[in-house]
A and B are shown apart, each in its own frame.
Chain A
Amino acid sequence: MEKLLNEEVTKQVKEYLNPMKESVTMVLFTQEGACNTCQETRQLLSEVAALTDKLTLVEKDLNKDAALAEEYGVTMTPSFVMLDKKDTYKGVKFNGIPAGHEINSFLSALMDMSGIDFGLAETIGSRLDKLDKPVNIKVFVTLSCPHCPGAVSNAHRLAMSHPHIESEMIEAQTFGELSQKFNVSGVPKIIINDEHELVGNQPIQEYLKTIEAL
């Protein structure tokens, strides 16, 4: 099978992931039959996993492994979550293939999950200390959108910073119905708890303001 990552990109990704600190596990959910980009997502994740011994890929089936899917809140395919070295789910999820520009939010999440300090602690300070309700952040993207990875990384970093926050990238082409449900025709579009909208690559302060006002 032809590789998705060419020689040059393979080298870039390998260098990028070289400083990873601890191990990370990716749990990918696919399903048999009609699944747009399941095969490509599987291939991308395996090719990346092969570039470092700190990365493991586990593949599950949405229907056969329904209990695990429920545990991670996975309802669509392809979808994958990242677990830290203790196999803890920290609310970091990707729905659809993180190709094109979105490779950057994927690689960035791997680095962050491996324990590299992403420098958000000072910015957040004590602002989320009182947060006691679940927060879901959806970030709709297209693969040709250069402003989208920044928005996804911010959301994922917030998820890693607080146990009540989960964040998911949603590739709008693969999940067209969901995009229509949320009236997405411009990206990045950030939707918090299914009702509060932010548009564009917003600084982390805007996420914090919206979450504080929930």
Chain B
Amino acid sequence: MFDFAVETQSKQSLFESQKHFDFAIIGGGPAGMNAALYAIRKGLSVAVFSLEIGGQLHNTSEVDNYIGIEHTTGGKLSEAFHHHVLELGVPIKTGHLVTKLEKPDDFHITLDNNEVYTAKTVLYATGGAPRRLGVPGEEEFANKGVSYCTTCDAPFFKNEHVIVAGGGNSAAESVVDLAAWASKITVVHRSQWRADQIILDQFKNIEGLEINLETQILEIFGDTKMRGVRVLDKPSGKERVIEADGMFVEIGNIPKSDLLKGLVDLNEQGEVIVSRDQETSLPGLYAAGDVTTQPYKQIIISASEGAVAALAATQYLMHHKN
């Protein structure tokens, strides 16, 4: 009836004795965790700074595409990554946000409690935050019917009608997850499906599923909570209303690159531009995972990029011994 997802604890006391590191990692998702693993094995002194561990993995319920692991959940995979890194003695600072990253000489990392740590090289792997639709009513009804985390909020919509906005893998997985709770699910997506066929194949078993492709959400309306959306049917050019009790917005992410503005080159979307070695335009500063320009936002790709960054930073440190 109940399961229990116990998370390994990091030893915060490791930070008391050490404030300077060879390689500091900002971000606790797959890229950051794998970079920590590779760097500590190379003998670097490493630390991880992240408000929480797991990153967007935590918003993923089922994971079926990590090679070698036929089926797991985002939470379990994240815990396995975390455990692996902790076992090797990497200090991980959670519960605090990094508020500033500067490079007067070495890199200076400032936390929201004003603690400052320094490092010779840094990996910036903060991932992304859920992208918003950007339509009227969204802000007003956020967390009043409009949600950005299916695993967190699905239980609030038991036997209700919910909309899923989006057409990628996360939207399709959201539909599958919600099927256990909602009585009716309506997908609204402005173009065609981009999700993996293997996930879409699961839709045939879901009762009360309605799919509206080429349909754009124009507005969210409600009173004390969301009551529905006004949409544009693009082929016919006609507008109509879909009444619903809630909506899960799964339309991708925006890069969390705020701390790098003015420090390194970003593209128009705010993604960090990196070389093949994951190095940014500032030598010694690396970026990996969903915060970069890499177009395929996948767990295994982020993890791999973290490994590349750690190995590249090791090379950099060998060539910059002073």
- Chain A contacts to B: CB under 8 angstroms: 4-5, 9, 12-13, 16, 40, 44, 97, 99-101, 103-104, 107-108, 119, 122-123, 142-150, 153-154, 172-173, 179, 183-189, 199, 201, 203-205
Chain B residues near A146: list those with CB within 8 A.
5, 54, 58-59, 74-75, 78, 151-152
Cβ–Cβ contact B75 & A101, under 8 A: yes
25 A–B contacts, CB within 8 A, in A order: A4-B2, A4-B4, A13-B4, A99-B2, A104-B7, A122-B115, A146-B5, A146-B78, A146-B151, A146-B152, A148-B152, A149-B7, A173-B155, A183-B225, A184-B156, A185-B147, A185-B153, A185-B156, A185-B246, A186-B144, A186-B146, A186-B156, A199-B143, A203-B51, A203-B95
The B161-189 residues at the A interface (CB cut-off 8 A) are: none
Closest approach, in angstroms, between the C-beta of A130 and any C-beta of chain B? 19
Measured in the bound complex, the distance between the Cα atoms of B146 and A12 in whole Å is 36
Mask: chain B, 1-41; 1 = CB below 8 Å from A; 0 = not: 11111110100100000000000000000000000000000
Complex alpha-carbon distance, A119 and B224, angstroms: 40
Say yes or no for B265: interface residue by CB 8 A criterion.
no
B156: nearest residue on chain A (CB-CB)?
Answer: A185
| A40 and B78 alpha carbons, distance in the complex (Å) | 27
Neighbouring A residues of B113 by C-beta, 8 Å: 122-123, 204-205
Write out the residue numbers on chain B whose beta carbons fall within 8 Å of the beta carbon of A205. 97, 112-113
Question: B12 to chain A: which residues have CB within 8 Å?
Answer: 119
Q: How far is the CA of A213 from the CA of B268 in the complex (A)?
A: 38
- Whether A107 lies near B52 (C-beta < 8 A) is no
Cβ contact within 8 Å between B4 and A9: yes
A185-B1 CB under 8 A given contacts A142-B155, A146-B58, A172-B155? no
Closest to B3 in A: A100
Please tell me if B85 contacts chain A, counting CB pairs below 8 Å.
Answer: no
**Contact A186 B153, beta carbon cutoff 8 Å:** yes
B interface residues with partner A (beta carbon < 8 Å)? 1-7, 9, 12, 51-52, 54, 58-59, 74-75, 78, 94-97, 112-113, 115, 142-149, 151-157, 224-225, 246
Contact in complex: B95, A204 (CB < 8 Å):
yes
Q: Which residues of B lie under 8 Å from residue A184 when comparing CB positions?
A: 156
Which 5 pairs show the lowest CB-CB distances between chains A and B? A186-B143, A99-B2, A145-B152, A146-B58, A123-B113
Closest chain-A Cβ to B86's Cβ sits at a distance in Å of 12
Contact B9 A16 (CB under 8 A): yes
Contact at B143–A201, with CB atoms within 8 Å?
A: no
Q: A122-B113, A184-B156 are in contact. List 8 more A-B contacts (CB 8 A).
A: A97-B2, A142-B153, A142-B155, A143-B2, A144-B151, A185-B147, A204-B95, A204-B96
